[in-house]
Homo-oligomer: A and B are copies of this chain.
Amino acid sequence: MGIPKRQVSSTASSRIYDTLRQDLINGRFTAGEKVAISALKERYEIGLSPLREALNRLAAHGLLIQENQRGFRVPSMERSELDDIAEMRRELEGMALERAIRLGDAEWESELLAAAHRLKRADMAPDKVEEWEHFHACFHRTLVAPCGSAWLLRFIAQLHDQFDRYRRMAPEAPEVRRVLDAQHGELVELALERDIKSARALMDDHIQRSYQVALQGVLSPA
């Protein structure tokens, strides 16, 4: 009945890719450590071929470092790299937000409101963090979605993965968290009002505060 939907079959490669990506972002691997391929094989109960394909993709994405003949390493976490990532986020997301505000249509406004609402409703209880993270990523993606540049969106997504790796390592900061949550709502307001200048400024501030939080993860090694 209806949609001739094409079976979205997945492969072992892409499943393990998604899993490893999450686990890398969530810091389930020690930074700087070498990844023992055969250990992963056991741990995730997966064959070598799909595993290696996933590792290759992750390396191309920057979530792993590949060295010929000696496998893969988890990138180390350096303050200087976080600085770089945050600075790039400011530049690229600022650019994207400005364009999104110029180009976004009524449909975008609706989706943005919806995404913001879902995020506000989601709670951050320890067992719900994954869900919250999902809505949070969705919100930021929706915010810049109509910027008109597929490549810009791609780069921003990559930077988010990198940034989140640091952020999730950092200790909780409820004070700042409240401010950051409030800013999500304010961003929506400014976007709907098409106030480019204020929106960019707020986005800058938002990323800067997130950066300050994430920074605690690098400064105080767990």
> Across the interface, do A68 and B149 meet the contact criterion of CB distance under 8 Å?
no
The answer on a CB contact under 8 Å between B85 and A151 is yes
- Is B10 within 8 A of A68, CB to CB? yes
Nearest residue, chain B, Cβ from A151: B88
Question: B-facing mask of A79-116, CB < 8 A → 1, else 0?
Answer: 00100110110010001000000000000000000000
Q: How far is the CB of A66 from chain B (nearest CB, A)?
A: 8
A163 to chain B, nearest CB (A): 11
Q: Jot down 21 A-B pairs with beta carbons below 8 A, ordered by A.
A: A9-B69, A13-B56, A14-B68, A49-B52, A52-B53, A53-B56, A54-B56, A56-B56, A56-B57, A56-B60, A57-B59, A57-B60, A58-B60, A60-B61, A62-B154, A84-B148, A84-B149, A85-B151, A88-B149, A88-B152, A151-B159
Q: Is A220 an interface residue (CB 8 A)?
A: no
**Lowest 3 A-B CB distances belong to which pairs?**
A60-B60, A57-B60, A56-B56
Q: Mark A148-189, 1 if CB is under 8 A from B, else 0.
A: 111110110001001000000000000000000000000000
Give the distance to chain B from A67, nearest Cβ to Cβ, in Å. 10
CA distance A85 to B54 in the complex (A): 27
A53-B56, A95-B91 are known contacts. Are A68 and B11 too (CB-CB below 8 A)? yes
- Contacts A56-B56, A57-B60, A155-B155: A69 and B11 contacting too (C-beta < 8 A)? yes
CB distance from A60 to the nearest CB of B (A): 3
Q: Which residue of B lies closest to A9 (CB)?
A: B69
Known: A54-B56, A57-B60, A84-B151. 6 other contacts (CB 8 A): A14-B68, A52-B53, A53-B53, A57-B57, A57-B59, A84-B149
Measured between C-beta atoms, what is the minimum distance from A3 to chain B in Å? 18
Q: Which residues of B contact A87 (CB under 8 A)?
A: 149
Closest beta carbon of chain B to A84's beta carbon, Å:
5
